[in-house]
Amino acid sequence: MSAVLEYIERNHAQYLEELKEFLKIPSISTAPEHKSDVVRCAEWVSQSMKSIGLENIQIFPTAGHPVVYGEFLHAGVDNPNVPTVLFYGHYDVQPVDPLHLWTNPPFEPVVRDGKIFARGAVDDKGQVFMQFKSLEAHLKTNGKLPVNVKVLIEGEEEIGSVNLESFLNTHKELLACDTVLISDTSMFGEDLPSLCYALRGLTYMEVTVTGPNRDLHSGVFGGAVENPANALCTIIAKLKDEYGRITVPGFYDDVKNLTPQERDEYARLPFDETAYRKELNIVATDGEFGYSTLERASARPTLDVNGIWSGFTGEGAKTVLPSEASAKVSMRLVPNQDTNDIAKKFEAYIRHIAPPTVTVEVTNLHGGNPAITPIDSKGVKAAMHALEQAYGKTPFLTREGGSIPIVLLFEKILNASVVLMGFGLNTENAHSPDEHFHLNNFYKGIVASALFYDEIASTK
């Protein structure tokens, strides 16, 4: 093993240069104008898989963006009982707006203070690349891997993995595996490794309220005609009560409450509320009555406006009564809520509370179900050991608030257990301007991942 670790140590500089090439490609999955960049990125990923020594590399077109696959399945030749690990990640990234808040352009990666800055640095290109390099280190040093490995990198995670479910169903044989490894979550803190065992789900809705057939003079018509912007605000204000509880009827029906034991574990995590507030420059935290900040941000469901627009938003004042107002509203879900069920309940309630003076349109943009992964699986044990060796510390077991829609489907369709071994930090600005990734965790992540494959080969 030490030869593998030496190989990694020796190649730090080279890794960084290659990662920069990956980060230069603006693979924004939601933007139609970047469609060809997304394709170019899939090609880059397939080339990278080739250069590390994977085989049977294929770019599969889908109804949306391509999926890239590769494998190295020779470990089973000597030992038919050797497990198969499928590594999953995504090469697509989020949009970059507001552009002017970036210190350097988002697709011109730079290193400052031991961090690499670019869109996708931590979510998820940096972490995907880390995994590639851990496989490369084994292959270039020993010409083989400790277990069979399949690699699946998609281009639509940031838009809800809309075409991946049918891809899994059509390619069940190709993707058959025992364990799915994902590096797309966070560590508990700098130099505090953790394994994530639960992610929230998501229901993402858009609401449009329409009033008069055109924008009106707010002096001439104001007071006599319902203002859709006011109506939308009224609707949104009704979605939560004074205890921070969501008022959509039936919303909490399927929520599995935290057990006293789970709450004890939460309370034991070394969380610094003051540092959290300071880092975000907020005067106080906020949320559902009766729950701690960590519980609110990972184990309780939420409802949030992500964007809202209507009427005149330019500089200065224009007296106008807008004819239309819209909002994008997301709900984070926890086990055992179901994204389609929540979408239906949300729509019914919006229609119920909307004033009769306007029409409302409610659309379900995308979503995914929450997931809890077993913590006693071979994969989790192996990852715990690997992290412990790489960081010299026992990792924490955490639940996280973000979503990876495909996780539950890996369990359902492939009947595999999922391991969420992530190396990001929640303060690294994923989805925000100045996204970055600590190089320290990038390099340690390569080591931990290389160790993971050895550990899982020897874990009973």
Are the C-beta atoms of residues 16 and 116 closer than 8 Å to each other? yes
Are the C-beta atoms of residues 149 and 176 closer than 8 Å to each other? no
Partner from Mn ion, ligand BES, none contacting 202, C-beta within 5 to 8 A by type:
ligand BES
Residue that is written with structure tokens 């608030």 in the block: 401
> Site for Mn ion (CB under 5 A): which residue of 37, 123, 156, 400?
123
Rounded Cα distance between 435 and 437, Å, is 7
Minimum distance, C-beta of residue 430 to Mn ion, in the bound complex (Å) = 6
Minimum distance, C-beta of residue 21 to ligand BES, in the bound complex (Å) = 21
Q: Can you name the residues that pair with 326 across neighbouring β-strands?
A: 208, 309
183 binds ligand BES (CB under 6 A): no
- Is 49 or 198 the residue whose CB approaches ligand BES more closely? 198
Size of the site for Mn ion (CB under 5 A): 3
> Site for ligand BES (CB under 6 A): which residue of 157, 178, 347, 454?
157
400 binds Mn ion (CB under 5 A): no
> Site for ligand BES (CB under 6 A): which residue of 368, 370, 395, 445?
368
Size of the site for ligand BES (CB under 6 A): 17
Of 328-367, which residues contact ligand BES (CB under 6 A)?
366
Minimum distance, C-beta of residue 66 to ligand BES, in the bound complex (Å) = 18
Count Cβ atoms within 10 A of the Cβ of residue 5 and give its class: 0-12 exposed, 13-18 middle, 19 or more buried.
middle
Of 311-330, which residues contact ligand BES (CB under 6 A)?
none
Minimum distance, C-beta of residue 173 to ligand BES, in the bound complex (Å) = 27
Are the C-beta atoms of residues 286 and 273 closer than 8 Å to each other? no
Interhelix angle for 125-142 vs 2-10, to 10°?
130
Minimum distance, C-beta of residue 352 to ligand BES, in the bound complex (Å) = 27
Q: What mask, x for binding ligand BES by CB under 6 A, covers residues 397 to 416?
A: ---x-xxxx-----------
Region from 215-223, 224-232, 248-256, 395-403 binding ligand BES, contact rule CB under 6 A = 395-403
Minimum distance, C-beta of residue 380 to Mn ion, in the bound complex (Å) = 20
Strand, coil or helix: 404: coil
156 binds ligand BES (CB under 6 A): no
Partner from Mn ion, ligand BES, none contacting 70, C-beta within 5 to 8 A by type:
none
Minimum distance, C-beta of residue 264 to ligand BES, in the bound complex (Å) = 23
* Cβ neighbours of residue 402 closer than 8 Å, sequence gap 6 or more: 185, 186, 199, 200
- Is 120 or 335 the residue whose CB approaches Mn ion more closely? 120
Are the C-beta atoms of residues 209 and 325 closer than 8 Å to each other? yes
Partner from Mn ion, ligand BES, none contacting 368, C-beta within 5 to 8 A by type:
ligand BES
Count Cβ atoms within 10 A of the Cβ of residue 213 and give its class: 0-12 exposed, 13-18 middle, 19 or more buried.
exposed
Count Cβ atoms within 10 A of the Cβ of residue 93 and give its class: 0-12 exposed, 13-18 middle, 19 or more buried.
buried
- Is 44 or 188 the residue whose CB approaches ligand BES more closely? 188
Q: How many CB atoms lie within 10 A of CB 354?
A: 19
Count Cβ atoms within 10 A of the Cβ of residue 31 and give its class: 0-12 exposed, 13-18 middle, 19 or more buried.
middle
124 binds Mn ion (CB under 5 A): yes
> Site for ligand BES (CB under 6 A): which residue of 26, 70, 146, 160?
160
C-alpha distances in Å from residue 216, one per residue of 27, 202, 213, 334, 347:
41, 37, 9, 43, 28
Alpha helices, DSSP H, located in 209-338: 228-237, 260-268, 273-280, 293-296
Are the C-beta atoms of residues 347 and 205 closer than 8 Å to each other? yes
Count Cβ atoms within 10 A of the Cβ of residue 113 and give its class: 0-12 exposed, 13-18 middle, 19 or more buried.
exposed
Q: What mask, x for binding Mn ion by CB under 5 A, covers residues 175 to 214?
A: ---------x------------------------------
184 binds ligand BES (CB under 6 A): yes
Interhelix angle for 35-52 vs 125-142, to 10°?
20
Partner from Mn ion, ligand BES, none contacting 400, C-beta within 5 to 8 A by type:
ligand BES
Binding site for ligand BES (CB under 6 A): 123-124, 157-158, 160, 184-186, 199, 202, 366, 368, 400, 402-405
Binding site for Mn ion (CB under 5 A): 123-124, 184
